[in-house]
Chain A
Amino acid sequence: MSRPRPEPVQVVKQRRDAALAALVERVPYIQFLGISFDRRGDELTATLNYDEKLIGNPMLPALHGGATAAFLETAAIIELSWQMIWPSIESDSHELPQLRMPKTIDFTVDYLRSGLPRDAYARARVNRSGRRYASVHVEAWQDNREKLFAQATGHFMMPQND
């Protein structure tokens, strides 16, 4: 008995990228802030593409704490949504469920150093995801992966299928 022949790599990539794009492109605020996502397999990295409108302190200059918070919250929500739809993307039918966003219950941001006026990156880790609630941790850095400029933990209400 032999396993079925795997799909061509481009077909798999295209399907995964299309699912990710569908998730990200429908949120106006993500477009407004200029956040994009890179994918390696199922691993996502969010990029906050630098723009002058993200500045909070023009004297330093430094990124606005609110822009940083929004970036981290977005990274957390997209990671959580991505993990919710991943099994469907990979299933035999490849049929995507209706996309519904998790709702933030609380979000705590730790500002470790001031955000420089350049691109920032973030990766989120879902520490627990139950039927109703999820807990997500996010780390953000700029030049050096080891030197975080912010981190956050948030709790989310999972969308209920009714």
Chain B
Amino acid sequence: MSADKAKIAAQFIQAIPHSRALGMNLVEIGDGEAVIEMPYDTKLIGDPDTGVIHGGAVSALMDTCSGAAVMSHPDAPTSTATIDLRIDYMRAATPDQTIRTRAYCYQVTRSVAFVRAEAVDEDTSRPVATATGAFTFERSK
């Protein structure tokens, strides 16, 4: 990633208070695809017996990553909002490991972007969760 792109990527997260609060880092972005990481943090724990992070934190990561993918689409939307997001939880994320999500727009209509996303931890062969969502796609007039 070029220095310019890296700067834009860092600013993208800094501009979203909730994503900043969850410690997300944008790793890659462009052409309707984005990769975002979220390091493990004890404040994100949802199950105190196992130390596994809360599904809601994974949802927030999926939602942010999907939104970033939409905003980076070559048709350059002016803004986006989630219409619907479905998350399937395949397994518990391993405590102490960073979760990495990749999202891409697989179809964009005049006003809607359809996005798929997948989250993994250090064991990249077995997804932690997958998501499919519909997002508004607002084009400049």
Contacts and interface: CB of A to CB of B under 8 A. Distances in A.
B8 interface: no
B16 interface: yes
A31 B64 CA distance: 21
Contacts of A56: 16-19, 63-64, 67
Interface in A48-88: 52-59, 62-67, 69-71, 73-74
- Interface size classification for chain A: 35 or more
A57 B18 CA distance: 9
Nearest to B83: A111
Contacts of A62: 81
Contacts of A65: 60, 63, 67, 81-82, 85
- Interface size classification for chain B: 35 or more
B77 interface: no
B29 interface: no
Contact of B18 (A54, A74, A111, A114): A54
Given A104-B89, A107-B86, A58 B15 contact: yes
A64 B44 contact: no
A58 B16 CA distance: 7
Interface string B66-89: 010000000000010111111111
Nearest to A111: B82
Interface string B7-47: 00000000111111110000000000000000000111111
30 contacts: A27-B46, A27-B48, A27-B54, A28-B45, A29-B43, A29-B54, A33-B56, A53-B20, A55-B18, A56-B16, A56-B17, A56-B18, A63-B18, A64-B19, A65-B63, A66-B57, A69-B60, A69-B63, A73-B54, A73-B55, A73-B56, A73-B59, A74-B56, A100-B49, A101-B49, A103-B92, A104-B89, A106-B88, A108-B85, A109-B86
Q: Which 8 A-B pairs have the closest CB atoms?
A: A70-B56, A66-B60, A64-B18, A29-B54, A53-B21, A69-B59, A65-B82, A66-B63
Interface of A: 26-33, 52-59, 62-67, 69-71, 73-74, 100-101, 103-111, 114
